[in-house]
Amino acid sequence: MESIHALTVTDIRGEAVPLARYRDKVLLIVNTASECMFTPQYTALQALYERYRERGLVVLGFPCDQFGHQEPGDAEQIQGFCTTRFSVSFPLMDKVEVNGPNAAPLYVRLKEAAPGLLGSEKIKWNFTKFLVDKQGRPVKRFAPQTKPEAIASDLERLLAAH
């Protein structure tokens, strides 16, 4: 599987972000939403980011409105909600689609590399999490109901790897 470092995404301010910027970092990539039953996970995602960022973790939030219209806001509204309600300081990206013909290339790559239950590539809901190693290889997918703190041991292992 080719590294995701070859891809470029767009951040919430509309600026291009080459994922090569995160070479030698462990990434936790999450499709997020402001009006989802899992939205309180922002608190735990921020806690993981604060706990591990000095060791090389970067959490990337990708707002997504494909599930129950749970991310209706524009970039400014999303940014404001995340910082005001959850003190999010990890990078937020532009709103993306994660399934279907307009799925972001990053999500196409993540789903191919780390399929879900029974080999399904389709993302079932908001707050699906993908863990990516320092070489940019997606290594594991976590279901929306998996609490971010439950990922800590997998994070530790990847952060310790060279």
Q: Which residues are known to be catalytic? A: 36
Q: Strand, coil or helix: what is 7?
A: coil
Phi, psi (rounded to 5 degrees) for 80: -60, -45
Spatial contact of 99 and 68, defined as CB atoms under 8 Å apart: no
Rounded Cα distance, 48 and 23, in Å: 19
Spatial contact of 131 and 142, defined as CB atoms under 8 Å apart: yes
The tokens describing 49, both together, are 């980011």
Fill in the DSSP letter of residue 32.
E
- How would DSSP label each residue in 48-96? HHHHHGGGTEEEEEEEB--STT---S-HHHHHHHHHHHH---S-BB--B
